Amino acid sequence: MRNNYSRVLLLSSSPRRAEILKITGIPFRVYSSFKVEEKLYKNPVTTAVKNAVSKVLAGYEVQNHDEIALAADTIVVVNGKILGKPAGTAEAREFLKMLSGKRHTVITGFAVRLPSGEIIKNFEETAVFFRQLSDEEIDWYIKTGEPFDKAGAYGIQGFGAIFIHKIEGDFFNVMGLPIAKIYDILLDNKIDIKKMAGR
């Protein structure tokens, strides 16, 4: 099994994605000093995957020959509407009202770029069920500051966990990085990232 890589180059400013790599023991470094315009397409999966590819390409010049570049883009879809990160308090409140008492889908598109230039891309979906939220709960949650850097204006790993009564699918996908799906796809391409820790 081919394994000529020492670590992952994580192209993200998300502390959640870094946390997932850390708890799974995968060596990595973070590079987030790049600007990519996240675009919105009619198809949610296309939106997440194409934005992830744009991010992984943005790391081309800083990727070392022994690194696997990894980028992801997470969106929330409710009633056919794509929710990214809220632009401010009003939009955060609007998003949370839309999610209240409903089932929504979290989609994370991801892209892996090998030093050869080959790009492996895919996505994961998870269904999330929100309890009914009161206006007081929404106001309280917004005051925590948590909604503003997260797709759909909530974080499953933070205060927002109390609003979720069920999920169907990958928990880590909702956090922003479906690590099990990524691992399986890399294995299919003869890359075993769990062996990096032993290098």
| Alpha carbon 193 to its chain's center | 19
Residue 122 in domain = yes
Residue 2 in domain = no
Q: pTM here?
A: 0.92
Q: pLDDT tens digits, residue range 28-67?
A: 999 998 888 888 888 999 999 999 999 999 998 899 999 9
Residue 18 in domain = yes
pLDDT at 198 over 60: no
Q: pLDDT tens digits, residue range 113-146?
A: 998 899 999 999 999 999 999 999 999 999 999 9
Residue 118 in domain = yes
Q: Looking at this protein, which amino acid is placed at residue 71?
A: A
Q: pLDDT tens digits, residue range 75-109?
A: 999 999 999 899 999 999 999 999 999 999 999 99
Question: Encoding tokens for residue 56?
Answer: 């992984």
Count structural domains, the chain: 1
- Catalytic residues, which ones? 73
What 3-state DSSP class applies to 127? strand
Q: Domain range holding 73?
A: 7-198
Residue 182 in domain = yes
CATH of residue 129: 3.90.950.10
